[in-house]
Amino acid sequence: MGAGMIGALVGLAIAAADFALLRMLAARVELPETKRVLNITGLSQFVLLPVIGYFVAPYVIGD
């Protein structure tokens, strides 16, 4: 498994943890607009963080 794939998997794990925390925060907020923004932010990180991890990990690891 290459460094890019490892970075993508780490990004996916971080995105899952962040999504869970943002969902817990959204449950405590009363404004529906804020809940929607927190949910969209959590979902967008499932795309962004693995992509960033895929490209950054080879530079960090030196692959």
Which pLDDT band, with edges at 50, 70 and 90, does 62 fall under?
confident
Predicted structure pTM score: 0.86
Token code pair at residue 14: 């971080």
**Structural contact between residues 46 and 23, judged by C-beta atoms closer than 8 angstroms:** no
Token code pair at residue 47: 């795309």
Local structure of 49: helix, strand or coil: helix
Which pLDDT band, with edges at 50, 70 and 90, does 1 fall under?
confident
Instruction: Provide the number of structural domains found in the chain.
Output: 1
Domain coverage including residue 11: 3-61
pLDDT tens for 36-59 read 999 999 999 999 999 999 999 999
